[in-house]
């Protein structure tokens, strides 16, 4: 069976979930308490609930840790370690990107913590970032 999927449809496997073409806005990169660079991205994809439904359905009891949370403004923030971002260009603050993301299952047996961490496998810049206008010089 082929591992290719349609846009936004994950491969059936509970250890690894792949989501294609998720639209996000880059917010910032900060260091955590363990000196890891963490990228924060706001999910702005209008179809994100359908695309991420397989991940949320695995966590229906709320016991798994996932790197997505809702803010008090009902925005959804994605947290990814920078070392798991396959990106050749610099992120631009407030710019839109289309990403392919893989969520991989982990289980720390000593503390019995289970969850998913995220790896961004592909980053494609989207349309020009909001608030940036492209000037056209008609004199040349």
Domain extents for the chain?
16-125
Is residue 1's pLDDT more than 50? no
In whole angstroms, what is the distance from residue 17 CA to residue 64 CA? 14
Which pLDDT score is estimated for 88?
A: 75
Phi, psi of 84 (to 5 degrees): -100, 20
> Shortest CA distance to 11 belongs to which of 21, 1, 23, 3?
3
Which pLDDT score is estimated for 9?
A: 60
Chain-wide mean pLDDT for the chain? 85
Would you say the pTM of this structure is higher than 0.85? Answer: no
> Shortest CA distance to 95 belongs to which of 116, 61, 68, 124?
124
Pick the CATH number of 16-125 from 2.40.10.10, 2.40.50.140, 3.60.40.10, 3.40.50.9100: 2.40.50.140
**pLDDT tens digits, residue range 55-68?**
888 887 888 999 99
């Amino acid at each position: 069976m082929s591992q290719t999927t349609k846009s936004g449809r994950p491969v059936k496997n509970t250890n690894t979930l792949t989501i294609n073409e998720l639209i996000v806005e880059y917010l910032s990169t900060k260091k955590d308490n363990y000196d890891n660079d963490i990228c924060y991205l706001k999910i702005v994809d209008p179809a994100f609930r359908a695309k991420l439904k397989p991940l949320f359905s695995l966590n229906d009891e709320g016991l798994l840790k996932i790197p997505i949370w809702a803010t008090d403004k009902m925005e959804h923030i994605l947290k990814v370690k920078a070392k798991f971002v396959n990106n050749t260009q610099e992120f631009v603050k407030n710019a839109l990107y289309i990403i392919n993301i893989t969520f991989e299952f982990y289980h720390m047996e000593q503390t019995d913590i289970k969850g998913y961490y995220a790896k961004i496998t592909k980053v494609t810049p989207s349309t020009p970032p909001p608030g940036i206008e492209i000037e056209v010089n008609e004199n040349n």
